[in-house]
Structure 1
Amino acid sequence: MTTELCMLLWSVVLGLVQVALAATCSVGQRGLGWAASPRDEVKPPLNGIGGRLDRARANFLETFPLFAAAVLAAQLLQHHDATTVLGAQLYFWARLAYVPVYAAGIPYLRTLIWAASIVGIVLVLVALL
C-alpha cells in the first residue's frame, strides 16, 4: 500500500473518531432521547467544546472528499512521488492536529493548521499536472 493510500485510510479513521466525539457531545448536551428521536424538533447549536468538536467534524467533511479524490486520482494514474507523499502526509497530520486545537478554542493556530491541510491537497493535485 502506498503512503498516500495509508494516509487516506487513516483519514477515514480520523473522520470516524470525529463523528464519535461530536455525537458523544451531542448526547451529553441534548440527551439520549433526542439522539434516538427523529429529530423533528429544532435544537440550538451545541455549545462549548461540544460545539467546537461538531464544527471541526463538519469542516473535516468539507475537505475530506477533495483529499480522497486527489489521492485516488494519483493512485489511478499511478503517480506516486515525494510531492504526493508530502501532500498526503501534510493533510492527515494537519487534520489530526486540527481537532484538539479547535476543541481548545485556539483561533489563529486553528486557521494555520486548516491552511496546511489545504496545502496538502493542493500538493497532491499539483503533482498530477
Structure 2
Amino acid sequence: MLLMLSYLVSRQRLSKKVSLGDGGHKELAGVIRAHANFTEYVPLALVLILMTELSGQGVWQVHALGIALVLGRGLHAYGLSTHPGGKSFGRMSGTMLTWLVILIGSLNLIVWSFYRVGSA
C-alpha cells in the first residue's frame, strides 16, 4: 500500500512538473497527505499488532487488528486521494478504523500486561 501511495505521488509530481511541495495543486496535495498520513500511523499500529502476536494472544486478535488496519488505510487513502481538502466517507471511516486499531491494540496490551504480572 505504501508503494502504491508513493507511486501516486510520483505520478502526480511528474504530470504537474512539481518536484517539492504541492505547487498549489489540490490533487497533488491530496495524494501527498494520503502518503504522509500512512507513514504517520501505520508503523505504530504494526508494532502494536506485532506485540499482540508476540505476547501469545489469540490469532484472531492479530487478524482482526490487521484486517481493520488494512481496510482503514485503504479507505483513508481512497477518500483523501479522491476528495483532496474535503470531507469524505473514506477519509473519516479510514481514520476512525486506524485510531480504533491503535486504541484497541494499546488497551489490549495494557490489560494483558496486568494479567501477566498478576499471574506470575
Deviation, 1:60, is: 0.4
2:102 corresponds to 1:125: no
Aligned to 1:116: 97
Tell which has more relative contact order, 1 or 2 (C-alpha 8 A, sep 6+): 1
TM-score of the aligned structures, taking structure 2 as reference length = 0.74
Aligned to 1:52: 30
Distance of aligned partners of 1:16 and 1:118 in 2 relative to their CA distance in 1, 3 Å threshold: same
Letter in 2 for 1:95: R
TM-score of the aligned structures, taking structure 1 as reference length = 0.70
Which whole-Å CA distance do the structure 1 matches of 2:63 and 2:108 have between them? 10
Which whole-Å CA distance do the structure 2 matches of 1:59 and 1:108 have between them? 15
Over alpha carbons, which structure has the higher Rg? 2
Higher deviation after alignment, 80-89 or 17-26: 80-89
Letter in 2 for 1:19: S
Deviation, 1:108, is: 4.6
Deviation, 1:44, is: 4.5
Aligned to 1:4: none
Aligned to 1:26: 13
SS in 1 for 2:56: coil
Residues 80 and 88 of structure 2 are in contact (CA less than 8 Å); yes or no, is this contact kept in structure 1?
no
Residues 86 and 123 of structure 1 are in contact (CA less than 8 Å); yes or no, is this contact kept in structure 2?
no
Which whole-Å CA distance do the structure 1 matches of 2:11 and 2:40 have between them? 21
Which whole-Å CA distance do the structure 2 matches of 1:97 and 1:21 have between them? 15
Distance of aligned partners of 1:95 and 1:44 in 2 relative to their CA distance in 1, 3 Å threshold: closer
Q: Deviations over 1:20-51 (max 9, x none)?
A: 111111122126xx5xxxxxxxx452422221
2:72 corresponds to 1:94: yes
Q: Which structure 1 segments of 5+ residues have no match?
A: 1-13, 35-42
Q: CA RMSD in A?
A: 2.0
The runs of 4+ residues in structure 1 deviating greater than 4 Å are none
Q: Which structure 2 segments of 5+ residues have no match?
A: 112-120
